[in-house]
A and B are shown apart, each in its own frame.
Chain A
Amino acid sequence: MMSNMLELAAIRSGYGAVVALHEISLEVRQGETVVLLGVNGAGKSTTLKTISGLLHPTRGTITFQGERIDRLAPETIVRRGIAHVPEGRRVFPGLTVRENLLMGTSNRRVTRAETERDIARVLEIFPDLERLYGQMGWSLSGGQQQMLAIGRGLMARPVLLMLDEPSLGLAPVIVKQVFRTIEMINRQGVTVLLVEQNVNLGLKVAHRAYLLENGRIIRAATTDALAADQEFRRSLLGASGHGAD
């Protein structure tokens, strides 16, 4: 039995007076890849933002490695080992690729040698970033920005990596590459919590899935079980418009 790394218990969260999550409960175990599925506005991104501290839940508790984190600031939560690669990548536009990666180490004290080693590790995963090293964030293509955003997240040396729609706006061949990378990162021991609209890809890469609808979890299952469920696939594939893969 694997222990729960992250546990959300009856979390209510949202934006000001607007409630986007109603009593969400879920858990992520050590070493897993978990995917949150659902259509736009179901509350997937809100869930990640609430875990990373950008939003604070108005009800419920979030426990990470046995400690409550639901009142902590994002600056503190990333120090505990949760890296959040946000929706839209949010690469620093006026910093170079190297400087963006360097910013990823802001969650801890690092020596120059450690930084260089971590950068080398990220460049090994994303070799394309090497030739873009001195380029400004704004000048990168969507796929390049996505690789940089994930790489920047890895620079934090997270134990839990949260990725919000890494496939969004990318060419299919780049999407495949990004997802192979996610699998590889997971095999290297990083637990992954993924938000994805592309159901087929999400089911392929993850061990378990939660299905969100209108801020509630309507189904939790292993991805094998969901993949075998013809009706589920038909309903969600129809709704999300990602028929072909």
Chain B
Amino acid sequence: MAEIIQLAITGVALGSIYALIAFGFGLIYTSVNVVNFAQGDFAMIGAYFMVSLELGARLPWWLALILAVLLAGACGALFQLLIYQPMRRRPRNFLPVMIATVGASVFIEQIFLVIYGPVPFQLPSIFKAQTIRLGGVSVYPQYLVIIGATAAMMALLRWFIEGTKLGKQLQATAQDADAARLMGIRVARMAALTFAISTALAGLAGLLIAPLYTVTSTMGTSIALKAFAAAIIGGFGSMTGAILGGISIGLIETFGATYISGTYRDAFPFLFLIIFLIIKPVGLFGEKVSQKV
């Protein structure tokens, strides 16, 4: 029993990481109709910024964390300016933009490889203790940090999107960009904001998961792929969907790796995705996307 609880916590923590990135995928997709294939690289960017700020500049962890997330978001805004904006004016812009994000992804990874070198970095967990005991279960504290930070971030975002005028303008732009322009909403700024939020989420995910693995220039790739699966399962654009999709992928990966085969741990989420798509092709909360005109 203790083992199952332990694995469940691990799964939910991993799933939180996927949920953060999955919601970012959905946010960009519902706003500007593009899948950003460089999303995972912003997880890597967040982790490297954390390395520089926490290990390099020796800032306190909480300050390093806030700055790294903000910087990842700033990189996202720059990314949309350099990649999305020039491409979106093309006729049939859907494909050129997406292919440009694939190209940008490779470019970003190479740049960080050049800057930080090929040797992986190790980020310390925020808590020094290796494990803490909750009841009869011993838990790696970073998992609890991940779950807590994700919950806080999602709550903050929900408030922003549903409770502020700027959040409503973001939604209005996603629903009908031309009508939004006629209202005076600066849609280019909304696109920049959308990318900034999405990539900040990815950055947070990257620096949260980094202490469990190592920081390398390609660390974002497999995380983003599973997050993409989570976004499809949850339905693009729905926060609840992203969370449920992320957590289900995290649990399936963790339990599959432990009880079936550790070698195939990356295969289970996608096997689940395929089965899921056969049963429910629009995702759990697909209606939010179809509301877009």
Contacts and interface: CB of A to CB of B under 8 A. Distances in A.
Interface of A: 52-54, 73-75, 78-79, 83-84, 86, 90-95, 99, 102-104, 106-108, 138, 152, 156
B168 A102 contact: yes
Which residue of B179, B187, B288 has the most chain A CB atoms within 10 A of its CB atom?
B179
A156 to B, nearest CB: 7
Given A54-B178, A86-B178, A93-B293, A106 B171 contact: no
Contacts of A74: 178, 181-182
Contacts, number: 70
A102 B176 contact: no
Interface in B164-191: 165, 168-169, 171-172, 175-176, 178-187
Interface residues of B, number: 21
Chain B at the A interface: mostly helix, strand, loop or mixed? helix
Contacts of A78: 182-184
B130 interface: no
A92 B89 CA distance: 24
Contacts of B171: 92, 94-95
Given A86-B182, A92-B180, A93-B175, 6 more contacts: A54-B182, A92-B172, A92-B175, A99-B168, A102-B165, A106-B180
Interface in B79-121: none
A73 B181 contact: yes
Contacts of B185: 75, 103, 106
A84 B181 CA distance: 10
Contact of B179 (A53, A86, A102, A108): A86
A146 B292 CA distance: 19
B180 A103 contact: yes
Contacts of A102: 165, 168
Contacts of A106: 169, 180, 183-185
B74 to A, nearest CB: 23
B179 A92 contact: yes
A83 B182 CA distance: 7
B263 interface: no
B176 A90 contact: yes
B183 A156 contact: yes
